[in-house]
Amino acid sequence: MSLARSDRDRYAEIRDGVRQLCANFGGDYWRRLDRDRAYPTEFVKALTQAGYLAALIPEEYGGSGLPLSGAAAIMETIQHAGGNGAACHAQMYVMGALLRHGSDAQKAKYLPKIASGALRLQAFGVTEPTSGTDTSSLKTTARRDGDHYLVNGQKIWTSRAEHSDLMLLLARTTPKEKAATRTDGLSVFIVEMREALGKGLTIRPIRTMMNHSTTEVFFDDLRVPAENLLGEEGKGFRYILSGMNAERVLIAAECVGDAKWFIDKAVAYAKDRVVFDRPIGQNQGVQFPIARAYAQMRAAELMVAEAARLFEAGADCGAEANMAKLLAADASWAAAEACVQTHGGFGFAEEYDIERKFRETRLYQVAPISTNLILSYLAEHVLGLPRSF
């Protein structure tokens, strides 16, 4: 029995529950949101009430304390059902930084409210317009001023900033030239956004090719209480990095779910659509891209399970988590391409949902980490090739 199969059995009940919930949010719901570029408020509410959004929060704080593979099963099932779980994965992994590095007081203050849905922690402010992937060169600063920090600068692609109560913000507290290494001197803050809006925090939405509620965020002498510093000052980069493996696994699980959705759609249509007096799926030219995408998806699924297994055992899973993200993003994109091609002209019609999912799954080649940066990680850290940047 493959790892992926045993994982499926382990979480069969959760998968059934998520599938039933998602059945109330069909293609028409997601199409309407996509058209209006609207946040999935009712869907997030339903997931929160059912406890799925608090999957990784320990039971003592009101969550269900599931291991990472359980959260991955939730994410995969949402995507496989045709939904868009972006808000969910964000809350799951952003919360992880608070859980691992927050003080007891911070955890007691925020985690139970996040678990109950009273507070949303779905905004993650790392990327900046000028520094891009080179996080250590980010320019947003946080300067200590009595019992506050004064934050100045700008973030871009801060998704769900308008719909989140809390943001995890990475800012420079020691100038790069004075820091011991280029990744030292960065710190993480919990920003209470409702409080901050209009008092040094401005949010401007960015309309993108798919519905992602993403924004640019401006800080102009925003006062953040010193007690909202997460962990130690200057160690923020490490805190963000420590959450990356979990994030990669969750995103990879989403891609596997997307790939399954595209493959199911393509197979059903290929059996049904008759051209030249026979189903198009009888032609190997139609079969093979779908079969290849299926094989890619299964390989990715095994790597996701392996990365999650290592993560849960407390072992280093950097290589596997990155490979899972790479393989799964490639599999979902191959499946998307095969699905559009199989549907011919109908693949472009909104009511089939394929063009929407096609746009949505394209993101994973770029965000939250681009394919090139994963290849570069593997080349340098796994294969020992010379460092390129």
Ligand X SMILES: Cc1cc2nc3c(=O)[nH]c(=O)nc-3n(C[C@H](O)[C@H](O)[C@H](O)COP(=O)(O)OP(=O)(O)OC[C@H]3O[C@@H](n4cnc5c(N)ncnc54)[C@H](O)[C@@H]3O)c2cc1C
Q: Which residues lie near ligand X (CB under 6 A)?
A: 124-127, 132-133, 157-159, 208, 212, 214, 363, 366-370, 372-373, 376, 389
Alpha helices (H) along the chain: 3-10, 12-23, 27-36, 41-49, 68-80, 86-101, 104-116, 193-196, 236-272, 284-312, 318-343, 354-362, 371-377
**Residue among 138, 132, 126 nearest 173 (CA):** 138
Q: How far is the CB of 122 from ligand X (least distance, A)?
A: 9
- The answer to whether 56 touches 71, Cβ cutoff 8 Å, is yes
Place of tokens 């999957």: 55
Would you say 107 or 155 has its CB closer to ligand X? 155
Q: How far is the CB of 193 from ligand X (least distance, A)?
A: 13
Would you say 26 or 129 has its CB closer to ligand X? 129
Q: How far is the CB of 9 from ligand X (least distance, A)?
A: 34
Q: How far is the CB of 56 from ligand X (least distance, A)?
A: 18
Would you say 110 or 124 has its CB closer to ligand X? 124
Helix 12-23, helix 68-80: angle, nearest 10: 40
Would you say 96 or 125 has its CB closer to ligand X? 125
Would you say 208 or 341 has its CB closer to ligand X? 208
The secondary element (H helix, E strand) that includes residue 223 is: strand 215-225
Bridge partners for 144 per DSSP: 149
Q: Which residue is nearest to ligand X (CB)?
A: 132
Q: How far is the CB of 163 from ligand X (least distance, A)?
A: 12
Would you say 276 or 389 has its CB closer to ligand X? 389
Give all strands (DSSP E) within 94-214, no chain letters.
121-125, 141-145, 148-156, 166-172, 186-192, 201-205
- The answer to whether 187 touches 146, Cβ cutoff 8 Å, is no
**Residue among 120, 76, 114, 117 nearest 300 (CA):** 76
Bridge partners for 151 per DSSP: 142, 222
How far the first Cα of the chain sits from its last, in Å, is: 42
**Residue among 277, 278, 287 nearest 342 (CA):** 287
CB atoms within 10 A of CB 129: 11
Would you say 148 or 359 has its CB closer to ligand X? 359
Would you say 127 or 187 has its CB closer to ligand X? 127
- Cα 306 versus chain centre, distance: 19
Q: How far is the CB of 304 from ligand X (least distance, A)?
A: 20
- How would you class 12 by CB atoms within 10 Å of its CB: exposed for 0-12, middle for 13-18, buried for 19 or more? exposed
Q: How far is the CB of 372 from ligand X (least distance, A)?
A: 3
Q: How far is the CB of 60 from ligand X (least distance, A)?
A: 28
Would you say 56 or 363 has its CB closer to ligand X? 363
- The answer to whether 318 touches 310, Cβ cutoff 8 Å, is no
Q: How far is the CB of 286 from ligand X (least distance, A)?
A: 31
Would you say 26 or 205 has its CB closer to ligand X? 205
As given in the structure block, the two tokens for residue 198 are 């209009």
Q: How far is the CB of 79 from ligand X (least distance, A)?
A: 16
